[in-house]
Amino acid sequence: MTESIISFQKVNKWYGNNFHVLRDIDLDVARGERIVVCGPSGSGKSTLIRCINRLEEHQEGTLRVDGVELSDDVKAIEAIRKQVGMVFQQFNLFPHLTVLENLTLAPMWVGKLPRAEAEERAMQQLKRVRISEQALKYPLQLSGGQQQRVAIARALCLTPKIMLFDEPTSALDPEMIKEVLDVMIELAGQGMTMICVTHEMGFAKAVANRVIFMDQGQIVEQAPPHQFFDNPQSERTKDFLSKIL
Ligand code: ADP
Ligand code: MG
């Protein structure tokens, strides 16, 4: 068995003193694995993936990413953030910067890349998400689907080993969902380690090695997609699937 790139061991997290949001999370993700996380609203999906790059901190248990244990150590957090790209439901692009400037900002100022190299890398990633012709536009001049592809390209510009997606298509009009999912499917085909919170079950069937179902801060069930959808074990999973399928 190859070493896990992400490893949760008995991870617990509370918001404030008494809201227990993650309960005894055990989860190992292998390099190149593609995981879809689903579950009802408020079940802790965003919190789970936000712990991976320390946008949220856990209080108990051990969380290792690419061999580094997440703690208060700022150097460790920085090291991990370099390896982990994240894409949110709201695209979080800077509206006053062009698409190209959105993509070169972090590589130039965090990665210390010279402008010419940062721009070259940005154009490669824009090509990868098939939007290079929009490089000089401003985000709000683009459709939602285009903006989300820019957000994916921006994350890829930091050459992450892991990509986290938090409901990347939930804010999109239906006709734009496919263009974003297609880019994610391509990324999966290129061997990227991915964790995607999504209720796009067609996507889960197409790319996931594993589907994880969360409810009330726990991983209730996990299985390869065909097994998960065709033969869910827990009543909570069955109930959830009956509502979304
Ligand atoms: P999901 O992504 O599955 O909808 P979240 O991880 O966003 O769930 O949230 C899980 C629970 O934690 C929800 O009840 C939410 O209201 C609560 N929560 C999320 N963020 C915070 C926060 N910063 N402070 C307090 N409670 C929070
Ligand atoms: Mg969420």
| Residue 109 CB less than 6 A away from ligand 1 | no
Q: State phi, psi for 140 to the nearest 5 degrees.
A: -75, -5
Q: Identify which of 42, 12, 41 has the alpha carbon closest to the alpha carbon of residue 26.
A: 12
Mutate to test the pocket of ligand 1, among 14, 38, 47, 240 (most ligand atoms within 8 A of CB): 47
Q: 120: CA distance to ligand 2 center in Å?
A: 34
- Stretch 155-180: mean pLDDT, rounded? 96
The DSSP element (H or E) to which 151 belongs, if any, is: helix 144-156
Nearest alpha carbon, ligand 1 atom 26: 15
**pLDDT value for 2:** 61
Strand order in the sheet with 162-166: 84-87, 162-166, 193-197, 34-38, 210-215, 218-223
- Stretch 171-186: mean pLDDT, rounded? 96
| Residue 189 CB less than 6 A away from ligand 1 | no
Question: Which residues does 56 contact at the CB level (< 8 Å), separation at least 6?
Answer: 13, 47, 50
Q: 41: CA distance to ligand 1 center in Å?
A: 9
**pLDDT value for 244:** 87
pLDDT-derived band at 3 (thresholds 50, 70, 90) equals confident
- Count H helices and E strands in the chain, helices first: 9, 10
Q: Range with the lowest mean pLDDT among 22-26, 72-76, 151-155?
A: 72-76
For the cut 80, the answer to whether the pLDDT of residue 1 exceeds it is no
Write the pLDDT tens digit of every residue in 50-73: 999 999 999 999 999 999 999 999
Q: 49: CA distance to ligand 1 center in Å?
A: 12
Q: 226: CA distance to ligand 2 center in Å?
A: 24
**pLDDT value for 242:** 94
**pLDDT value for 215:** 97
Any idea which ligand is nearest the CA of 39? 1
Q: Identify which of 181, 227, 230, 231 has the alpha carbon closest to the alpha carbon of residue 207.
A: 181
| Residue 42 CB less than 6 A away from ligand 1 | yes
* Complex-level ipTM: 0.98
Mean pLDDT estimate for the chain: 96
Nearest alpha carbon, ligand 1 atom 14: 42
On the CB side of 68, CA atoms within 13 Å amount to 19
Read off the pTM: 0.96
Q: State phi, psi for 242 to the nearest 5 degrees.
A: -65, -25
**pLDDT value for 49:** 98
- Stretch 213-230: mean pLDDT, rounded? 97
**pLDDT value for 66:** 94
